[in-house]
Amino acid sequence: MDANKVIELWEKYEFFDNLKEHSIRVAAIALFIADKFIEEGKEVDKELVKYGALLHDIGKMHNLLNIDNRSHRIIGTDILIEKGYPKLAKISEEHWITVVRGDKFSFPESEIVSIADATVGIDGFQTFDGRIDCLRKRKPEEKETLEIARKNLIPYFKRFFDEEENFRKIAKELTEKLDFKNKTYKQLIEAL
């Protein structure tokens, strides 16, 4: 897997620019979290984290464009298995729902991408609370599920960011690094 392959898949599956930028932000914060896992003595494949984050929403457009009404996680899983990327498929399958359910992740890279995805909205980095509040406005029918997700995410937030001010500092640094106005998507991916 490389930047060209990611871009090829994004184009094939009609990613909007805001979804590309979301995925790049998820990859940036996921790599920060991966370093924290490594500091804790855990083995982490950072390339798997990077590409898992960049492709975790690969099934999203099929769902948004009503090409397929299944969950974007499942569509993405099918796409990535078909393309020969079973570990990336597992990340797509497990992101978000595993956090909501409080289930055990298959491997640390999947956990890292899920945590990272919970800190990135479509417009940028958000605290877990901010992300949950945003989702509650968009999906009021999922209020209970989102409150469970918030409860399950709080320990992660404290573990990796300590407090909201530290998270905002990290998010600001990553935002400055991710210069979407002056870099191509390929340049941004390669710089991760």
What string of pLDDT tens digits covers the 192 residues of the chain? 999 999 999 999 999 998 999 999 999 999 999 999 999 999 999 999 999 999 999 998 877 777 777 788 889 999 999 999 999 999 998 887 777 777 788 889 999 999 899 888 877 888 877 877 877 787 778 778 778 877 888 888 888 887 778 888 998 899 888 888 888 999 999 999
The string of DSSP letters for 11-33 reads HHTT--HHHHHHHHHHHHHHHHH
Q: How far is residue 103's CA from residue 152's CA, in Å, rounded to a whole number? A: 10
Distance between CA atoms of 177 and 173, rounded to whole angstroms?
6
**DSSP code of residue 120:** B
45 by DSSP, 3-state: which? Answer: coil
Alpha carbon separation from 164 to 80, 116, 128 (Å, rounded): 35, 15, 10
The fraction of the chain above a pLDDT of 70, given in percent, is 98
Report d(CA 9, CA 102) in Å as an integer.
Answer: 30
Name the average pLDDT for the chain: 87
Angstrom distance (rounded) from CA 64 to CA 69: 8
Write the pLDDT tens digit of every residue in 29-73.
Answer: 999 999 999 999 999 999 999 999 999 999 988 777 777 777 888
Written as six digits, the tokens of 106 are: 């298959």
Spell out the domains of the chain, with CATH numbers in brackets: 3-191 (1.10.3210)
